[in-house]
Amino acid sequence: MLNYYHALEEMERLAKGNDPIQERDIQLLHGLSFEGRPKPTPYRDGQNVIRSGKLVVYIPPKAQDVALLMKELVEWINVSVKRALPIPFIAGLAHYQFATIHPYYDGNGRTARLLATLVLHKYGYGLKGIYSLEEYYARDLGAYYQALTIGKDEDYYDGQRAEADLTTFLEYFVCGMAESFDKVRIQAQRAGEEGVRDHAHTLRELSPKQRQVLKLFLSASRVTAKDLSYFFHINDRQARYLCQQWVAEGFFHVVDPAPKTRRYGLAEKYERSIH
């Protein structure tokens, strides 16, 4: 989970840049989300298969074809942006085609979702990072996988998946966007009706991990490194380092300095943003 937050931070950084999307960006997102390393990972060097139990449901393209297919995918994304194709369609089709190529032995699903999110954030559908499609997918994983399953069980070279009608998947993808965006609209409308002050600028300063940890402070005014360890599924040493880092950045402040009972509170301006 922590690796995925690191990948989200990198995705946001890439989205703010002026350069078009590059293969290296995708490889870096995979390296961060799957291996936890800020280093681009090379594509697979052998054959992989997708199974449902013992049943083989899809055989992706051969390893020697992956590099060219990925090059063509990235070129298609950038050309489609220039041609002013609807960005949600570009993001959805990029997601689908990445899953079709399956360029890695593992971690393809999360990287496909990161790529789609990168396209959306980079080209006007980011909403300043205050929505996530992951919740939509996670609520019904069966529907997500069903939407990705186009055509009959097949080998990539049979052509059915690469040449299929993708209307169903695009409908699923844009419905997820619409639902996620509508939640943001409803929350903003409710906050406006209640006279809640707009703290969007303050929240945009935070990293994805910091935004997530705000949830802990909705039910507790103080947290410990142990709380973060449990929340992010990281070890105690990593959690202590994270607390120290956030104190140095001015996100946390130390409330109880005792080594065995050390507790942290939010800096005042962030505490105001959640109350």
Q: What is the reported pLDDT for 165?
A: 87
Q: What percent of the chain has pLDDT over 70?
A: 90
pLDDT, position 114:
93
Average pLDDT of span 77-88? 96
Would you state the structure tokens that stand for residue 274, as one six-digit string?
């959640």
At 255 the pLDDT is 92
Ranking 168-172, 202-206, 213-217, 262-266 by mean pLDDT, the lowest is 202-206
Query: What is the pLDDT, as a whole number, of residue 152?
Result: 64
pLDDT at 134: 76
Q: What is the per-residue pLDDT for 37?
A: 85
Mean pLDDT of 209-231: 85
Which of 145, 85, 83, 82 has the alpha carbon at shortest distance from 113?
145
d(CA 269, CA 250) in angstroms, rounded, equals 10
Q: Which domains does the chain have, with CATH numbers?
A: 2-185 (1.10.3290.10), 200-273 (1.10.10.10)
Q: Tokens in use for 235? A: 């070890």
